[in-house]
């Protein structure tokens, strides 16, 4: 079965690496949508794994497993690289929406991916503010359940 490409926010990918409440839902979406991500996704997922390990919400062994799953995911996703256009669009988005800088860059990368035509394009996300901004931009947003390891 061929999958459709969709933009995945980091918050939607973390449950594929670390077992949590949203993991089953994330795996279902992965069977349906091939991930398109922004260039900082790998670093953000490493940050999430490290934060969970420091907080003792996952073990060292679980951390190693999560990093292995991340490596496998990286082999299958399409990455949108940083460009001046992505930065310009991110700045405009940050003026319109209450977003963190990284979220503005993610949404700008998603818009770059679809050539500024988000209609009929899917955006997967577990972050409420980013979901609202992506919907306002015209994406069909699949909101993930709130994640807890």
- What CATH code is carried by the domain that includes residue 32? 3.40.50.1010
CA–CA separation, 62 vs 66, rounded Å? 6
Q: Within the chain, which residues score under 50 in pLDDT? A: 147-149
Q: What is the pLDDT of residue 149?
A: 42
- Domain contains 57: yes
Of 69, 72, 111, which is closest to residue 91 (Cα–Cα)? 111
CA–CA separation, 8 vs 144, rounded Å? 11
pTM of this prediction? 0.93
Total domains in the fold of the chain: 1
CA–CA separation, 143 vs 11, rounded Å? 10
- Domain contains 149: no
Q: What is the pLDDT of residue 2?
A: 65
- Domain contains 13: yes
CA–CA separation, 4 vs 6, rounded Å? 6
Q: What is the pLDDT of residue 146?
A: 66
Which residue range(s) make up the domain with 11? 4-143
């Amino acid at each position: 079965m061929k999958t459709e490409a969709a933009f995945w926010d980091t918050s939607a990918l973390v449950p594929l690496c670390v077992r949590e409440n949203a993991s089953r839902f994330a795996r279902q979406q992965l069977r349906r949508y091939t991930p398109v991500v922004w260039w900082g996704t790998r670093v953000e997922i490493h940050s999430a794994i490290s934060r969970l390990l420091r907080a003792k919400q996952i073990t060292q062994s679980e951390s190693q497993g999560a990093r292995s799953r991340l490596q496998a995911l990286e082999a299958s996703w399409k990455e949108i690289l940083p460009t001046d256009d992505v930065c310009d669009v991110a700045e405009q988005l940050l003026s319109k929406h209450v977003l963190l800088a990284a979220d503005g860059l993610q949404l700008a990368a998603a818009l770059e991916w679809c050539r500024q035509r988000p209609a009929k394009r899917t955006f997967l996300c577990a972050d409420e503010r980013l979901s609202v901004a992506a919907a306002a931009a015209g994406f069909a947003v699949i909101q993930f359940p709130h994640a807890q390891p």
